[in-house]
A and B are shown apart, each in its own frame.
Chain A
Amino acid sequence: DTAVSQTPKYLVTQMGNDKSIKCEQNLGHDTMYWYKQDSKKFLKIMFSYNNKELIINETVPNRFSPKSPDKAHLNLHINSLELGDSAVYFCASSQLDRVGEKLFFGSGTQLSVL
């Protein structure tokens, strides 16, 4: 019944590995996002997709590759993980790609790169 669900909740891995985080929303929303929250709680948008189409790519290293197989899913694949990638990653969705829209957030994936 969770509106926006992410898996896994925790991810611990070694530098250089490749990992994926999955996100699914059951709200019927058209737009999905990935946000990164660093250790100081600062939140920054990484990507947004609208109906499976990439809309925003906020100068994220190309080691990060989002994939949207359908509008209910937006997965995040990260290649060659680095220490600086350690953060909490939040998936979110909104009904429309429109200013003023409310975002629904998942509970986050805490990524620790050792």
Chain B
Amino acid sequence: AQSVTQLGSHVSVSEGALVLLRCNYSSSVPPYLFWYVQYPNQGLQLLLKYTSAATLVKGINGFEAEFKKSETSFHLTKPSAHMSDAAEYFCAVSEFRAAGNKLTFGGGTRVLVKP
């Protein structure tokens, strides 16, 4: 079975500072990995995904993530935080079984941005 662990349920950064959200995965097959963002009272939106092409993946809103197989990690970064980045971020791994495609989420990391 696949699983995802996000280190840190809360991250607080100053506006303009680096945002780093950690994600480690466990998978018996080459994984497909995702980062989703959830703004207050909204559903999740895809930030970026890794599907075995380039290991450095660029997403929307200036976010990027690097797939490191040796570390089983897929950390999300943004060089300079903006107030609008305050949200909940979820890392996820996709597993395709005979019974269909399944997305398994990590526990989420809430990002607070201080002015």
Interface size on A, residues (CB 8 A): 27
Residues of B within 8 A of A108 (CB): 41-43
CA distance A103 to B90 in the complex (A): 13
Using CB atoms and an 8 Å cutoff, list the residues of chain B in contact with chain A.
Answer: 32, 34, 36, 41-46, 49, 51, 88, 90, 94-96, 99-105, 107-108, 110
Beyond the given pairs A48-B100, A97-B100, A108-B42, 16 more chain A to chain B contacts, judged by CB atoms under 8 angstroms and listed by A's residue number, are A41-B107, A42-B108, A43-B105, A44-B105, A45-B102, A45-B103, A48-B101, A50-B100, A55-B100, A56-B102, A90-B43, A92-B44, A100-B32, A100-B49, A102-B34, A103-B44
Residue A34 is within 8 A (CB to CB) of chain B in the complex:
no
Give a binary string over A102-114; 1 marks a CB under 8 Å from any B CB, 0 the rest. Answer: 1101111000000
List of A residues within 8 angstroms of B100 by Cβ: 31, 48, 50, 55-56, 97
Q: Contacts A90-B43, A99-B94, A105-B43 known; A55 to B108 CB distance under 8 Å?
A: no
Binding site for B on A (CB under 8 A): 4, 31, 40-45, 48, 50, 55-56, 58, 90, 92, 94, 97-103, 105-108
**Contact indicator B96/A42 (Cβ below 8 Å):** no
Q: Report 23 cross-chain contacts, Cβ distance below 8 Å, ordered by A residue.
A: A31-B101, A41-B110, A42-B108, A43-B90, A44-B105, A45-B102, A45-B103, A45-B104, A48-B102, A55-B99, A55-B100, A56-B100, A92-B43, A92-B44, A94-B101, A99-B32, A102-B49, A103-B44, A105-B36, A105-B44, A107-B41, A107-B43, A108-B43
